[in-house]
Structure 1
Amino acid sequence: MTSRRAFLGLLGGAGLAVAGCGGLTGETAGETLASALPLPRPFTVPLPVPALARPTRPGHYEVVQRAARMEIIPGTTTEVWGFDGTFPGPTFDLRRGGRTTVRVRNELPVPTSTHLHGGVTPPDSDGYPTDLVVPAGQGFGPPPGGHTRHGTGADLSSWTFHSGARDYLYPLDQRAATLWYHDHRMDFTAPQVWRGLAGFLIVRDDEDDALPLPKGERDIPLMICDRSFEEDGSFRYPSLDPSLRVTPGVEDAYMEGVEGDVILVNGAPWPFLEVSATRHRLRLLNASNARRYRLELSPGGRFTQVGSDAGLLTAPVTHSAVVIAPAERFDLVVDFSDYPVGSEVTLLNTLGSGPTRNVMRFLVTRRAVDGSAIPKRLSRPEPADRSSAVTTRTFDFRATRRGPGALWTINGQPFRPGRPLARPRLGTAEIWRFTSDFHHPVHVHLAHFQVLSRNGRPPAATDAGWKDTVDVRPYEVVEVLVRFEGHRGRYMTHCHNLEHEDMAMMADFEVV
């Protein structure tokens, strides 16, 4: 493991060496935290299907954030912090334009803030990190005398507290897409998501429904993440304050990101799924704190990408492998009729080694009628037009030292709530240039974007479509065309390596 001092020395003294091979370099985005219990054999647990959220009345839902015990590692139980006490939380299956209110009730011992990732959401329902739901009867407030990491606690005006519960409004005036929701609490997002506060929200619309893509039980959301476990089966995480009540942050060796040694899919370790020899639509989400995956099929095979973070592509794109960074989604079709019945098709992570090289396995068990198809034209979204940009802005994601510890910063500044780095106008588009010193999956709230270039060259094939998160690699310059639509107000951009986010790598922007 690399200490904070050594890591900062590497950044300051070796510069471009971060982009090389070995240790923190190459494709690695964090430090692996080893589990303390024997790991189960892969492909012995069936893939779970998260429950569907049920409305309390038309357009209204309520979920309760609470602790519960689940069997994740066979033979042990794990306390999770989950929406409705499950990990993942219930899946919301909603329609475009179906104005939805979700009441989130907090029965955990700590504050929470719920962000709908990818949602075109009013600012007061966006899950701003200092807009918190506090457990009823508990007296939480801003950190006294400034924050231990980056001094935000002194600005009392940036903190809002709701006792016990609050309503989040989701207009869903956006294209069909695979979204997800997760905790976004100031300074504690990483450990609270690690403990289970995440779930899917699927937006559907007439355009997507009309396509002959796989549907029903052959349309499968897959939440991929990594975790580590203590000997008793509890989650293992290197928090400075395991209570998550006072002191934020992780042990110095993990400040570049925490990676677990157990790969979970929908909350199960290395699961299997029986499938027919037909096409299946796999809605892949990387819900890991820091780990990046390079997904391939074994014994060979191809993915046909039909959608990205913000919805359908214009036309399908075929890949032999897909690199997926934290918070990215890929909507892929796999045709299992390419394999004989009885085949075992393994989803591999070729960036991993040992147990983290496996993700899950598909067992092709039977033939079946398949009425699905992949059309040559999927959608007609508004194209990315560089000439439509009214301005260009640069956001530099970089580690620096402020005071006694390290910080991850944007444009050299740690996060300051209420101090926007940009004020884009509603209804306009801008070119945002992201630069970095490390792997930073950059997420923009509210606005969707298309990748224009990487280091002045065309974007990767996996950059296709409208997105809300982009994988920015070490010492890379990524240009995106960002479109600001839907709402005025305060939003943010940040690194979705959650340990970086918790160490100040966030910035406000205000849509005017």
Structure 2
Amino acid sequence: MVSHSYLSRRNFLKQSIGTATIGGGLVLCPWTTAGAATAKTTPAASPLGIADDLANPSEVHSVDGRLRTRLFMSIADVLLPSGPAKLRIFNESLPAPTLRLKAGDTLEIAFENRMPENPDTTAMVLNVPNRFNTTNVHYHGFHVSPRGNSDNVYLQIEPGHHFNYVVRIPEDHPAGNYWYHPHRHGSVSAQVASGAAGMAIIGGALDTVPEVAAAVERVMVLQAPIPGVDGVLATEDPIWPPLNGERNFLINGAYRPRIYMREGEVQHWRVLHAGDAQFLPLTAEGLELYEIGRDGNPLPRAEIVDTVDLAPGNRVNLLVKATKPGTYQLLRPAFNQGKQPLDEIMLADIVVIPANDSRVAAGKPFGRDIPAGDLPKNRILTDIADSEITMQRKFVLGMSEVKGFFKDTEFTINSQPFDPRRDDVTAKLGAVEEWTLVNTTPYPHPLHIHVNPFQLMDSNGVPDPRKPWLDTVAVPASGTVRFRTRFTDFAGRYVMHCHILPHEDTGMMINVNIEA
């Protein structure tokens, strides 16, 4: 086993939060209360105004270029399909409120860790789950600084402590779906598996496409919360079996809800897979599904699909067209994640009602069309040519049996488990690189890289003609993925890791250091 100096650093942070500047650019700021809530809020509500329709989560909107709000994590009582449960979640809400911003905005969050002291006080072992009440907040997919009090996943915010996040979003940030969730190594899986997550939407050019602007918008956060065996999760043991077994998926906290559409209507669904481990393909027979965006990044054109494949961490913008009245089903079709087949499950009923149904509130939009032309492009999403490449790298995803580790398992990248003290990739700001990921395990791994999106070139050697821009990609079992990325705008240290979060907590993560 590898013991780790994490413990002394943790104690130092615990004593220092609120006042200190730590080496390496880590800035901890005093938590303030003056003016800590400056934003427009909207309650959870059906986008059609129908009583038993799936409600969009509550939202917090930026005002005059700033979204300033409070966020806290606590242990809350929640009713799940399996019964009453205690979950670690944000703002006692499942899911957490949606943050709605624009490119160029500043996000200011006064964050508070309201959880009790950690019951485990023995020395921590790196890459063994620990300290489930220590946390932080990651802004998944944001192209922002990873330093200081921005999207800094090396922070450890202890129970009873506060922290101010200030995240400045570039003026040319792509428009789309992002999200926020905890990312403190050692406790990330337990907290996301509890349901600590919320959507973040950055508005922009995609929203001004006439066919998109005309559509009713649904925000849909898919989660499968796991409670502890007796009370709150105290170990990752309950999480690991559901990697290969059935789970109760919720949409916006609701189990098997109704989703209403009108005959002939096109709705814009912003879908987030905020689960911790299990892949989630989606189908809806009898309806037309068009993908227009992935991971916050617009696709070149609207593309009709039969199945939407989502790995943990993926987001998708869908235009969904209803045909004739009737009840249809949103399904997770049968599939195999590498160990055992999983049966089809029903996630929601989609009820298509007459176009003039009186239950729909007056004045609701009624989109009917799918965009036929090219979708808007973005400066940081232009194709990466062969001539731009400054470095090629290979990363091998693996696992090994290590006695004494959790489940006697350690996950690795290039034969090494995660070590926060080691820089695995060092590059200069402005570099353009091509990375090949090689999976040596018998199941897929969704790899997520922070700060800079990447352009997918091929999977298992088969080129993707769309060359989509992503931040999370599934590397097939015993397969390969090749992508290209530009290190633009932001120097600093961040991570790439598997978004099957029990794999991250047990070692499948590396550090990337971009130098100015």
TM-score normalised over the length of structure 1: 0.76
1:193 matched to 2:180: no
The equivalent residue for 1:351 is: 334
The equivalent residue for 1:147 is: none
| Greater relative contact order (Cα < 8 A, sep 6+) | 1
User: Partner of 1:424: helix, strand, or coil?
Assistant: strand
The equivalent residue for 1:332 is: 318
Q: Deviation at 1:226? A: 2.3
Is the contact between residue 249 and residue 502 of structure 1 (CA under 8 Å) also seen in structure 2? no
The equivalent residue for 2:91 is: 84
- String of CA shifts for 1:421-467, please: whole Å, max 9, x gaps: 111222222101111123100000001011111222213x7x75210
Is the contact between residue 495 and residue 501 of structure 1 (CA under 8 Å) also seen in structure 2? yes
Is the contact between residue 454 and residue 477 of structure 1 (CA under 8 Å) also seen in structure 2? yes
1:105 matched to 2:112: yes
The aligned runs of 1:136-155 (5 Å cut-off) are 136=160
- In structure 2, what is the Cα distance between the partners aligned to 1:89 and 1:191? 16
Which AA in structure 2 matches 1:221?
A: V
Q: Deviation at 1:480? A: 0.4
Gaps of at least 5 residues in structure 2 are 1-50, 117-132, 336-340, 357-365
The equivalent residue for 1:49 is: 56
Q: Deviation at 1:371? A: 5.7
Indicate the larger mover: 421-430 or 120-129. 120-129
User: Partner of 2:390: helix, strand, or coil?
Assistant: strand
User: Partner of 2:190: helix, strand, or coil?
Assistant: helix
Indicate the larger mover: 482-491 or 394-403. 394-403
Q: Deviation at 1:358? A: 1.2
Which AA in structure 2 matches 1:223?
A: V
Q: 1:482 to 1:129 in 2, by over 3 A?
A: same
Q: 1:397 to 1:49 in 2, by over 3 A?
A: same
Q: Deviation at 1:86? A: 0.2
Q: Deviation at 1:237? A: 6.4
Which AA in structure 2 matches 1:429?
A: V
Which AA in structure 1 matches 2:345?
A: R
What's the C-alpha RMSD, in Å, of the aligned pairs? 2.7
User: Partner of 2:427: helix, strand, or coil?
Assistant: coil
Q: Deviation at 1:214? A: 3.5
Stretches (4+) displaced over 6 A: none
Q: 1:271 to 1:54 in 2, by over 3 A?
A: same
The equivalent residue for 2:32 is: none
Which AA in structure 2 matches 1:86?
A: S
The equivalent residue for 1:65 is: 73
Is the contact between residue 250 and residue 347 of structure 2 (CA under 8 Å) also seen in structure 1? yes
1:132 matched to 2:156: yes
Is the contact between residue 212 and residue 375 of structure 1 (CA under 8 Å) also seen in structure 2? no
The equivalent residue for 1:121 is: 144
Is the contact between residue 334 and residue 342 of structure 2 (CA under 8 Å) also seen in structure 1? no
Q: 1:113 to 1:202 in 2, by over 3 A?
A: same
1:410 matched to 2:396: no
- In structure 2, what is the Cα distance between the partners aligned to 1:392 and 1:476? 18
Which AA in structure 1 matches 2:93?
A: T
User: Partner of 1:79: helix, strand, or coil?
Assistant: strand
The equivalent residue for 1:231 is: none
The equivalent residue for 1:175 is: 174
- In structure 2, what is the Cα distance between the partners aligned to 1:507 and 1:84? 31
Aligned residues: 423
Q: 1:318 to 1:54 in 2, by over 3 A?
A: closer
User: Partner of 2:134: helix, strand, or coil?
Assistant: coil
The equivalent residue for 1:433 is: 436
Gaps of at least 5 residues in structure 1 are 1-43, 137-162, 229-234
Is the contact between residue 427 and residue 514 of structure 2 (CA under 8 Å) also seen in structure 1? yes
Which AA in structure 2 matches 1:61?
A: T
User: Partner of 2:504: helix, strand, or coil?
Assistant: helix
The aligned runs of 1:282-293 (5 Å cut-off) are 282-293=269-280
Is the contact between residue 48 and residue 267 of structure 1 (CA under 8 Å) also seen in structure 2? no
- In structure 2, what is the Cα distance between the partners aligned to 1:128 and 1:59? 19
